[in-house]
Amino acid sequence: MNMVTAPHEEATGVGMEADWSNVLGRLKSEFDDNVFNSWFKPLALVNIENGCAIMATPTRFMRNWLESNYADRIRCAWKTENPSVTDINFIVLSGFNKAKPETATAEEASVPQPDRRKSSIITQKTSEFGAPLDPRFTFESFVVGKSNELAYAAARRVAENKEVHFNPLFLHSGVGLGKTHLMHAIAWANREKFPDRRVVYLSAEQFMYQFITSIRYKDTMSFKQKFRSVDLLMIDDLQFIANKQSTQEEFFHTFNALVDQNKQIIVSADRAPSDLNGVEERLRSRLAWGLVADIHPSTYELRLGILQSKRENLGADVPNSVLEFLALKVTSNIRELEGALNRIVAHADVSKQEITLESTQDVLQELLRAHDRCITIDEIQRKVAEHYNLRLSDMHSARRARNVARPRQVAMYLSKMLTARSLPEIGRKFGGRDHTTVMHAIRKVEELMGDDAQIAQDVEVVRRALTG
């Protein structure tokens, strides 16, 4: 029996259910049957979170169509039924099929036609309930260096063998360092080598939405069945299920069932299993049983290698000096690095100018400034916690011990210096503290930096880590 208890996973059911059926009633009276049946009937309400109604559609195509044609009407209907709903959002749950027989005609229909529903065959691929794979993310396009060679070797090993050598494979790193790329690469390679295997990739967030939706539509049996019948299951960004009790519990059961059947599981997260705060201990320790491989921040050589390979793919005329400059300057992560190169190529394209070191410096200056603006308080808290060897939760906690309180003050200080957040906003991000507390922290750190070389150095090290 699965009970959804955690507040972020499901809002209170009864009222939401009634509102949803009223919303559907409204739409039914506003549109003709054909439109209603094609577009609205297959929709499933997943949840209401922070005033946003989240609805699931079975296909991407359908989501796009709803977004561009009917979003306003649906939003309006929601507002009328329940004024606390101010926004709507569609997510794609591929393979999810609310009214089992009659859906999924929309994929092929560019516009709904009167006889479409009756005549078309349902082409739902039942084996496909994972997220789509990016064709660019393959092993061939993955550049290997010191920082990622362990993760790469482990990924290759899993992709090329049916036997399970370590379970799970746990990949972790900061953002933009290639976890998702490697997982997609495993899926591509594995599907090619063993076409009969059922390989499923999805994010932890999608896992949660599928789970919640199955509860709402009393379909947990088929949810369990489909997840227990895969040969290789990959769950990306597992940190998302922190503090989501029932999703964690369901994932734990799925995990155990698959391990028992000797099926391979691959999990990624932005930190090591033991650092997954808000995740039950039994799951954390289980996750560390297999092979834990982390991807380290990139080296200059790797960044240069990636840029060279990217230049080849783009077929762009970029001088080596420019690649070297980028590899030296954009150190935060690979996503930013690719972004910088794309931007420079696009800029040259638009301005019809050759790419030179000078033009790159100009464009990049803008980019680096934009990057500075994007630093978030969450990132600052994470970096400070890392630097002082604390838990991330210590940044929000009420603990006053100096070894916790001081780093927290440093984080508040950096939040003021590196983001555009106001004092009250910063206070809120630090466990709901008052703005006067933040102000006090900033003064204190400034004062200490004058007297205490250690603090001054700590602040500088973290600042540098953040601003790349």
Where along the sequence are the contacts to Mg ion (CB under 5 A)? 179-180
CB 427, CB 440: distance < 8 Å: no
Question: Cβ of residue 236: shortest distance to Mg ion, in angstroms?
Answer: 6
Q: What does 181 interact with, of ligand ADP, Mg ion, none (CB < 5 to 8 A by kind)?
A: ligand ADP
| Nearer of residues 114 and 315 to ligand ADP, judged by Cβ | 315
Q: Is the dihedral of CA 464, 465, 467, 468 positive or negative?
A: positive
CB of 334 to Mg ion, least distance (A): 11
User: Mind giving me the DSSP string for 294-323?
Assistant: EPPPPPHHHHHHHHHHHHHHHT----HHHH
What is the smallest separation between the CB atom of 164 and ligand ADP, expressed in angstroms? 23
Instruction: Tally Cβ neighbours within 10 Å of residue 73.
Output: 15
* Partner in contact with 148, chosen from Mg ion, ligand ADP, none, beta carbon below 5 to 8 Å by kind: ligand ADP
Look at residue 142 and give the partner it binds from ligand ADP, Mg ion, none, a contact being a CB closer than 5 to 8 Å depending on partner kind.
ligand ADP
Comparison of 155 and 279: residue with beta carbon closer to ligand ADP: 155
Q: Which helix (H) or strand (E) holds 73?
A: helix 71-81
Q: Which is nearer to Mg ion, 38 or 173 (CB)?
A: 173
Query: Are 87 and 51 within 8 A, CB to CB?
Result: yes
Nearer to ligand ADP, 151 or 265 (CB): 151
Which of ligand ADP, Mg ion, none sits in contact with 247, Cβ below 5 to 8 A by type? Answer: none
> Closest separation between CB of residue 134 and Mg ion, Å?
11
Binding residues (CB under 6 A) for ligand ADP: these are: 137, 141-143, 148, 173, 175-181, 306, 334-335, 338
| Residue number closest to ligand ADP, CB atom | 178
Q: Which of Mg ion, ligand ADP, none sits in contact with 143, Cβ below 5 to 8 A by type?
A: ligand ADP
In angstroms, give the least distance from the CB of 395 to ligand ADP. Answer: 22
Note whether 169 and 291 are within 8 A (CB): yes
Residue 393, CA distances (Å) to 56, 271, 386, 409, 429 in order: 32, 14, 12, 14, 11
Tell me how far apart the alpha carbons of residues 137 and 140 are, in angstroms, rounded to a whole number.
8
CA-wise closest residue to 407 among 373, 441, 376 = 441
Residue 129: CB minimum distance to ligand ADP, A: 21
Of 74 and 204, nearer to Mg ion (C-beta) is 204
CA distance 109 to 115: 11
Comparing CB distances to ligand ADP, the nearer of 6 and 272 is: 272
- In our burial notation (b when 16+ CB lie closer than 10 A, e otherwise), range 1-33 reads eeebeeeebbeeeeebeebbeebbebbeeebee
